[in-house]
Amino acid sequence: MSSRSVRVNELVKREISTVLHTNYRERAVGITITEVDVSPDLRNARIYYSVIGDQTAVQAAESLFNKEHKNIRQFLSKTVVLKYLPKLQFKFDDSIARGVRVLDLLEEIDDESDEGEMQR
């Protein structure tokens, strides 16, 4: 990935996060923008987000993005100057939950192996 793409991705990520936490403060308190992937032609952007909480918090974040994506894009247009302002597509990122699950499984395996060594 070119350094220009990295800079554009980070800029869009930072500005969307700022918009969420200033304009949608009470609804976006548990939402974190984890990654942004802007296409090379700057026409489309995938915004990956994670949510603190259970499935209802994920659904609330999804409905926020479905309802407010045009307003978020409008706020973004005021702060980010690009040849084209990308269309925003928000996607839930469950990699943090999967990582926690893997760590839990590894801990279980470690605990079982410790118990097995003690029994010998």
Query: What pLDDT does residue 38 have?
Result: 92
pLDDT on residue 116: 64
Burial grade of 4 (CB within 10 A; 0-12, 13-18, 19 or more):
exposed
Tell me the C-alpha distance between 88 and 58, whole Å. 18
In a domain, 119, yes or no: no
Instruction: Name every residue whose Cβ is closer than 8 Å to that of residue 73 and which is 6 or more positions away in sequence.
Output: 85, 87, 88
32 within a domain of the structure (yes/no): yes
What tokens appear for 93 in the block?
């990122």
Q: Is the separation of the CB atoms in 64 and 28 below 8 Å?
A: yes
What pLDDT score does 95 carry?
81
Indicate whether 66 belongs to any domain. yes
Residue 29 within any structural domain of the chain:
yes
Question: Which range of residues forms the domain containing residue 84?
Answer: 3-94
Beta bridge partners of 36: 47
pLDDT of res. 34: 92
**Residue-level length of the chain:** 120
Per-residue pLDDT of the chain (120 residues; tens, 9 = 90+): 678 889 999 999 999 999 999 998 888 888 999 999 999 998 999 999 999 888 899 999 999 999 999 999 999 999 888 888 899 999 998 887 788 888 888 888 887 777 666 665
108: in domain: no
Q: Which residues pair with 102 in a beta bridge?
A: none
Which of 77, 5, 78 is closest to 41 using CA atoms? 5
The DSSP annotation for 65-94 comes to HHHHHHHHHHHHHHH---SSPPEEEEEE--
Residue 16: per-residue pLDDT: 94
Residue type, 99: G
pLDDT at residue 117, as a whole number: 66
pLDDT value of residue 101: 84
Determine, yes or no, domain membership for 114: no
Q: Considering its fold, how many domains does the chain have in total?
A: 1
Question: What is the domain-level CATH number for residue 69?
Answer: 3.30.300.20
Q: Is residue 112 part of a domain?
A: no
Whether 120 is covered by a domain: the verdict is no
| Contact in structure between 59 and 49 (CB atoms under 8 Å) | no
